[in-house]
Amino acid sequence: MNIQRLSPPQASAYRALMLEAYAAHPDAFTSSVDERAGLPLSWWEARLADGPAPREVVLGATEGASLLGVAGLSFETREKAGHKATLFGMYVPASMRGRGLGRELVARALDCARTRPGVTLVQLTVTQGNVAAETLYERCGFVTFGLEPLAVAVDGGFVSKRHMWCDLRATDESTRRF
């Protein structure tokens, strides 16, 4: 298994994996499968575009030509919030779980955030009750700082989201708990 930053030529595989994620777990993502399926491939390619200080970075776990899982980071561009990054689009298909891919993707995303000048924290949201994801994030150093009730409308109801953050200054290579 290899963890790498995805690039525009991998946009089709990334799109397919994320559409699978949105369909399989509609309560875990704010975007819907219909909403994202309607976007042109160029949107997905732009998300993976290279550059010296990209606004977004998507990491992928690969084995050969297969994309096994993904996690993205979005960096704040506003001056007063430039110390923050957001982990988004974390997904490992059920058939690939139990191999440590999720943990490795989160760890590599945190490492990526640490290399960005001025970034001191990574935040995320996770669907309340998704115990596996909540546990993974806690093991990687994230702590809950709030609960957003009725955060996402799904199938005629609502799900709440736990807001979590990881202080990169407190969770360096030597202090990770996994």
- Nearest one of 89, 72, 50, 54 to 3, comparing CA atoms: 72
Q: Which residues touch 71 (CB under 8 Å, ≥6 apart)?
A: 58, 59, 87, 88, 89, 90, 91, 105, 106, 108, 109
Q: What pTM, to 2 d.p., does this model score?
A: 0.92
CB atoms within 10 A of CB 139: 15
pLDDT at position 172: 58
d(CA 104, CA 43): 26
* Fold type of domain 2-167: Aminopeptidase (3.40.630)
Read off the pLDDT of residues 33-71 as tens digits, 9 standing for 90 and up: 999 999 999 999 999 998 888 999 999 999 988 999 999
- 106 vs 170, residue with greater confidence: 106
Read off the pLDDT of residues 140-166 as tens digits, 9 standing for 90 and up: 999 999 999 999 999 999 999 999 999
CB atoms within 10 A of CB 176: 13
Read off the pLDDT of residues 98-117 as tens digits, 9 standing for 90 and up: 999 999 999 999 999 999 99
- Three-state SS at 165: strand
d(CA 27, CA 107): 24
Domain ranges of the chain: 2-167
- Nearest one of 7, 4, 75, 74 to 46, comparing CA atoms: 7
Residue labelled with tokens 């561009």:
77
d(CA 76, CA 55): 7
Dihedral class, residue 151 (left if φ above 0, else alpha if ψ from -120 to 50, else beta): alpha
pLDDT at 178 over 50: no
Mean pLDDT for 90-99 is 94
